[in-house]
């Protein structure tokens, strides 16, 4: 996998993963650039939270599948366990914020479309794709967040997503600095 | 000291099973979870955030320059990070003007003592956290967007340092 292979279709696969995860039309609009800015509101925060939770569900399902099928071994498996744990934390934090505000968080998809994960190579590549999608989504959406508590949480979640993405890039031999 | 640059999986093609097993064995255990966020700074204004970021960036810059001087293998890494700092600093200056804040205070080049990776990591982490904790105090969506993007770059740098430490046999 070359950097060009990731970069050339990055926008497409970010949108594909967001769509597969069930991200709302509003958040899709921010991601694909058709929605530039919206007035900060409780509704906007909910839309962002629902999109973020959907992406977290997708990432957890991906790592679950890799771990269940023993696709990854050794240190790579330990990274997958670590990253799944992070995503579970992100999911739970954001579900708690939604519930505290009286919303209804989206449930995980019953049959997520994860693509082929038959080899370690495919698993790491899929891991990188989902992390890039998450990083891009949080980066694009963060400035639309209205409330300070969620903005702070989203900032630290974004730091984690960058870590995951950078580790998988290094594993695949892509540029990291 | 070797800054991580080589791939753990060969690039371009899926690896052979042998290469795969070697790569898997090379990746050290990453500690679960991060004990952090307990001492979050409570910034109250954009000016305060920018001042903190400028100060922390200057401290980190001094360490990176000292590292580059002492460890030839770390020069490319240090140069890359310092170049990113320079770009971010210029962008922050534009943000300061846009938000009608006073310009950045003059900061000395700073003097770094004996450079340890753990100290470099702490300094990098402090800069990342200043960005994260500062976002809610900025009060301007454009500034949040810009500073969040800077934070993404700095978080990447932090991970490279983590991988470097792990490669040297240390944990996070």
Whether residue A96 has pLDDT greater than 80 = yes
Confidence class of residue B137 from pLDDT cuts 50, 70 and 90?
very high
Q: What is the number of domains present in chain A? A: 1
Domain with B53 in it: 44-167
Q: What is the mean predicted confidence (pLDDT) over A79-102?
A: 95
Contact B58, B110 (CB under 8 A): yes
* Cα gap B129→A155, rounded to integer Å: 9
The B residues from 54 to 93 touching A (CB cutoff 8 Å) are 77, 80-81
Q: Is residue B14 part of a domain?
A: no
Q: Is the ipTM of this structure higher than 0.95?
A: no
Nearest CB to A76 within list B7, B27, B151? B27
| Total-model pTM | 0.84
Dihedrals phi, psi of B7, to nearest 5 degrees: -70, 150
Domain containing B50 — which CATH number? 1.20.1260
Whether residue B100 has pLDDT greater than 80 = yes
Nearest CB to A159 within list B24, B40, B128? B128
Domain containing A159 — which CATH number? 1.20.1260.10
Say if the Cβ atoms of A75 and B27 lie within 8 Å.
yes
Say if the Cβ atoms of A167 and B4 lie within 8 Å.
no
Domain with A71 in it: 3-171
List pLDDT tens digits, range A57-84. 999 999 999 999 999 999 999 999 999 9
Confidence class of residue B106 from pLDDT cuts 50, 70 and 90?
confident
The region that residue B60 occupies, defined by phi over 0 for left and psi between -120 and 50 for alpha, beta otherwise, is alpha
A interface test, pick of B85, B152, B165 with most A CB neighbours within 10 Å: B152
- The pLDDT assigned to B7 comes to 46
Q: Is residue A176 part of a domain?
A: no
Confidence class of residue A11 from pLDDT cuts 50, 70 and 90?
low
List pLDDT tens digits, range A34-64. 777 667 778 888 988 999 999 999 999 999 9
């Amino acid at each position: 996998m070359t950097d060009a292979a990731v970069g050339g279709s990055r926008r497409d696969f970010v949108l594909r993963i967001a769509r597969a995860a069930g991200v709302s039309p509003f958040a899709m609009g921010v991601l694909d650039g058709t929605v530039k800015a919206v007035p900060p509101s409780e509704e906007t925060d909910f839309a962002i939270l629902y999109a973020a939770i959907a992406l977290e569900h997708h990432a957890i399902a991906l790592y679950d599948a890799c771990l269940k099928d023993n696709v990854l071994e050794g240190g790579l498996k330990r990274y997958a366990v670590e990253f799944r744990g992070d995503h579970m934390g992100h999911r739970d934090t954001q579900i708690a914020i939604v519930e505290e505000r009286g919303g209804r968080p989206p449930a995980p998809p019953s049959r997520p479309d994860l693509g082929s994960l038959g080899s370690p190579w495919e698993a790491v590549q899929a891991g990188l794709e989902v992390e890039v999608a998450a990083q891009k989504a949080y980066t694009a959406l963060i400035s639309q967040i209205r409330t300070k508590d969620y903005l702070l949480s989203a900032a630290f979640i974004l730091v984690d997503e960058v870590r995951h993405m950078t580790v998988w890039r290094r594993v695949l031999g892509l540029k990291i600095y | 000291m070797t800054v991580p640059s080589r791939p753990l999986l060969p690039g371009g093609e899926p690896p052979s099973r042998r290469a795969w097993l070697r790569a898997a064995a090379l990746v050290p255990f990453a500690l679960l979870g991060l004990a952090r966020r307990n001492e979050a700074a409570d910034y109250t204004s954009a000016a305060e955030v920018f001042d903190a970021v400028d100060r922390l960036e200057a401290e980190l810059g001094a360490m990176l320059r000292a590292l580059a001087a002492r460890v030839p293998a770390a020069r490319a890494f240090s140069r890359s990070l310092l170049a990113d700092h320079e770009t971010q600093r210029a962008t922050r200056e534009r943000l300061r003007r846009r938000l009608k804040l006073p310009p950045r205070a003059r900061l000395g080049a700073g003097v770094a003592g004996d450079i340890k990776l753990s100290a470099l990591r702490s300094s990098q982490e402090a800069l990342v956290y200043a960005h994260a904790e500062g976002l809610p105090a900025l009060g301007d969506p454009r500034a949040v967007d810009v500073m969040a993007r800077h934070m993404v770059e700095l978080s990447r740098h932090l991970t490279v340092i983590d991988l470097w430490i792990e490669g040297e046999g240390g944990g996070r």
